[in-house]
């Protein structure tokens, strides 16, 4: 049996996730627990989910056949703006979970990145944001406010560099559970 212990955020207690050859389960400190047989898992989705504080945050979303979603992250919440990186244990758990699921339930859909609808929306949002920044840049230059124009250029470069990494890692695709995309597992 493989375990992974994580407190996702301020509002939840520490959760112990476990997987063996028959089922996936989790239990929190309030004694709430769920056992989910692999035959009842509909899909697995691996994501790159960076935040302002955790630039190296990854997550796995497990959806069962009833539509219930379970999210597991590679960071443990210790306090406000205080997170512990548990990437090594997270990676071991994710790899073992994939191995067990693929042996029991070959019908599970293994998805990498965001859904194609979200991906298209993110592209539209990025293009719109760049257009707004470019328009305001031209406005500032035409009125001679050069220092704000320089700030706009820096903002555009920063936004583009962050977006490029996010969009590359979260491109929607399917994958083989025996060949997990390395760019959707945190570097240890």
How far apart CA 86 and CA 82 sit, in angstroms, is: 13
Q: In this predicted structure, what is the pLDDT of residue 188? A: 82
* Domain tally, the chain: 2
Q: Strand 15-19's sheet: what is its strand order?
A: 2-6, 15-19, 23-28, 33-37
Question: Quick one: 55 and 8 in the same domain?
Answer: yes
Q: What is the pLDDT of residue 142?
A: 86
Clarify whether residues 152 and 71 are in a common domain: no
| Statement to judge: residues 29 and 103 lie in one domain | yes
Distance, in Å, from the CA atom of 54 to the CA atom of 72, rounded to the nearest integer, reads 15
Please state the separation of Cα 34 from the chain's center in Å: 22
Q: Which domain holds residue 77?
A: 2-113+172-184
* Rounded distance between C-alpha atoms, residue 44 and residue 69, angstroms: 10
Residues 53 and 138 occupy one common structural domain: no
Q: Are residues 101 and 132 in the same domain?
A: no
Residues of the chain where predicted confidence (pLDDT) is lower than 70: none
pLDDT at 148: 80
What value, to the nearest 5°, has the Cα angle with vertex 24 and ends 71 and 35? 100
Same domain assignment for residues 62 and 122: no
Same domain membership, residue 43 and residue 85:
yes
Statement to judge: residues 72 and 104 lie in one domain? yes
Predicted confidence at residue 169, as pLDDT, reads 93
User: How many CA atoms lie within 13 Å of 168's alpha carbon, on the beta-carbon side?
Assistant: 8
Task: Let me know whether 149 and 176 are in one domain.
Answer: no
Residues 70 and 20 in one domain: yes
51: domain CATH number? 2.30.29.30
């Amino acid at each position: 049996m493989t375990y992974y212990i994580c407190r996702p955020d301020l509002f939840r207690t520490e959760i112990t996730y476990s997987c063996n050859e028959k089922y996936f389960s989790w239990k929190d400190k309030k004694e709430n627990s769920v056992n989910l047989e692999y035959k009842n898992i509909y899909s697995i989705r691996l994501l790159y989910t960076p935040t302002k504080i955790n630039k190296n945050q990854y997550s796995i979303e497990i959806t069962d056949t009833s539509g219930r979603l379970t999210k597991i992250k590679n960071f443990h919440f210790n306090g406000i703006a205080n997170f512990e990186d548990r990437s090594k244990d997270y990676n071991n758990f994710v790899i073992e979970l994939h191995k067990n699921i693929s042996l029991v339930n070959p019908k599970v859909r293994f998805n990498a990145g965001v859904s194609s609808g979200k991906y298209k929306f993110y592209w539209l949002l990025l293009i719109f944001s760049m257009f707004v920044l470019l328009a305001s840049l031209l406005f500032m230059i035409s009125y001679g406010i050069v220092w704000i124009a320089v700030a706009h250029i820096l903002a555009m470069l920063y936004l583009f560099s962050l977006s490029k990494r996010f969009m590359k890692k979260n491109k929607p695709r399917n994958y083989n559970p025996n060949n997990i995309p390395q760019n959707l597992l945190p570097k240890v």
